[in-house]
Amino acid sequence: MIQHTDQSAVTVLGLGPMGRALAGAFLDAGVRTTVWNRTPGRDRELAERGAVGAPTPEAAVAASELTVICVVNYDAADAVLRRDAVTDALRGRTLVNLTADTPDRARSAGAWAAEHGIGYLDGAIMTPTTTIGTPAAVFLHSGPEELYRRHRPLLDALGGTHTHLGEEIGRAAAYDIALLDVFWTAMAGYAHALAVARAEGVTARELAPFAKGIGAILPPLFEQAARDVDSGAFPGEGNPITSAASSMAHIVHVSEAHGIDASVMRAAEGWARRVIGKGHGADGFIRITEILNPRVLV
């Protein structure tokens, strides 16, 4: 439990599933927690656990030196924060924005906060609501290091690991976008695989154990690919991109024979064939990063 001090109070704006989980974790850690949500009634269960429901966002902000906001996107965050009364209440206080959006929106929010005398940290939550308040939670933060260190004891109430990625305010959002790209591309691939398997008479439950095996081989491949991209060397001795393109062509053929949309795999095969066409057929698949980035000449 956190000992009550002038610093052991927090305001949470936004009580969707993640916002409620954040507020609940603060309460469980003994933090005085004030909450507000645009839709009335969302704070009922939290109030029963000891949270104070504020009538307005400006009243909520005035209750604590630290405010955490977590809403659906920055349009929703701006609609709350950039009202004159709320902005005035935030002056001289700290705002931690755990709303997911783009790096440019994070930079815009940081500039707005600086203009109005508001301490600002941007952040990203990389794990689901069920992890909040547990060791499994993962939080990323960017912004002034002094501000992060000052509020780290309260942020620790949310559980898990907290990583400060640097003072450039857009870095947490950049990590978030890249990591969600991995997640949703993988989930889209799995959905497509299940559709193809089903068309061939293989149930999802039959395929799942073997799909988990594919997942298990990815972490070391991710590490090697990262080394290759950063070094600019793309060894393909074990699995050249010509082999990858051949496998992808088979997936496209089987998918389309069953009337299943194969546009994602067609795109990936197209990237591979562009690399091959530039004379790099003996290189590894991850060389496609240079095709995808227009600033890199292949």
**How confident is the prediction along the chain (298 residues), in pLDDT tens digits per residue?**
444 444 589 999 999 999 999 999 999 999 999 999 999 888 999 999 999 999 999 999 999 999 999 999 999 999 999 999 999 999 999 999 999 999 999 999 999 999 999 999 999 999 999 999 999 999 999 999 999 999 999 999 999 999 999 999 999 999 999 999 999 999 999 999 999 999 999 999 999 999 999 999 999 999 999 999 999 999 999 899 999 999 999 999 999 999 999 999 999 999 999 999 999 999 999 999 999 987 754 4
Reading the block at residue 118, the tokens are 């508001």
Same-domain pairing of 161 and 18: yes
CATH number of the domain enclosing 220: 1.10.1040.10
Structural domain ending residue among the three candidates 168, 194, 214: 168
Question: How far is 29 from 16, CA to CA, in rounded Å?
Answer: 20
Same-domain pairing of 92 and 240: no
Same-domain pairing of 100 and 48: yes
User: Is 51:35 a contact under the CB 8 Å cutoff?
Assistant: yes
Is residue 187 a part of any domain in this protein? no
Same-domain pairing of 95 and 223: no
Is residue 68 a part of any domain in this protein? yes
pLDDT the model gives residue 2: 42
Same-domain pairing of 13 and 100: yes
Q: How far lies 256's CA from each of 190, 247, 248, 266, in Å?
A: 17, 14, 12, 11
Is residue 1 a part of any domain in this protein? no
Reading the block at residue 275, the tokens are 């690399």
Is residue 177 a part of any domain in this protein? no
User: Is 141:164 a contact under the CB 8 Å cutoff?
Assistant: yes
Structural domain ending residue among the three candidates 145, 168, 191: 168
Sheet containing strand 52-53, strands side by side: 52-53, 32-36, 9-13, 66-69, 94-97, 119-125, 138-142, 161-164
pLDDT the model gives residue 7: 53
pLDDT the model gives residue 3: 42
Same-domain pairing of 16 and 99: yes
Is residue 192 a part of any domain in this protein? no
Q: State the pairing for strand pair 138-142/119-125.
A: antiparallel
* Number of structural domains the chain divides into: 2
Is residue 298 a part of any domain in this protein? no
Same-domain pairing of 63 and 143: yes
Same-domain pairing of 124 and 209: no
Is residue 46 a part of any domain in this protein? yes
Range of the domain at 115: 9-168
Question: How far is 269 from 266, CA to CA, in rounded Å?
Answer: 5
CATH number of the domain enclosing 31: 3.40.50.720
Same-domain pairing of 157 and 214: no
Q: Which amino acid is at 119?
A: G
Structural domain ending residue among the three candidates 106, 141, 168: 168
Same-domain pairing of 161 and 208: no
Same-domain pairing of 48 and 105: yes
Is residue 87 a part of any domain in this protein? yes
Same-domain pairing of 137 and 40: yes
pLDDT the model gives residue 296: 58
What count of other Cβ atoms lies within 10 Å of the Cβ of residue 203? 10
Tokens 């496998």: give the residue: 247
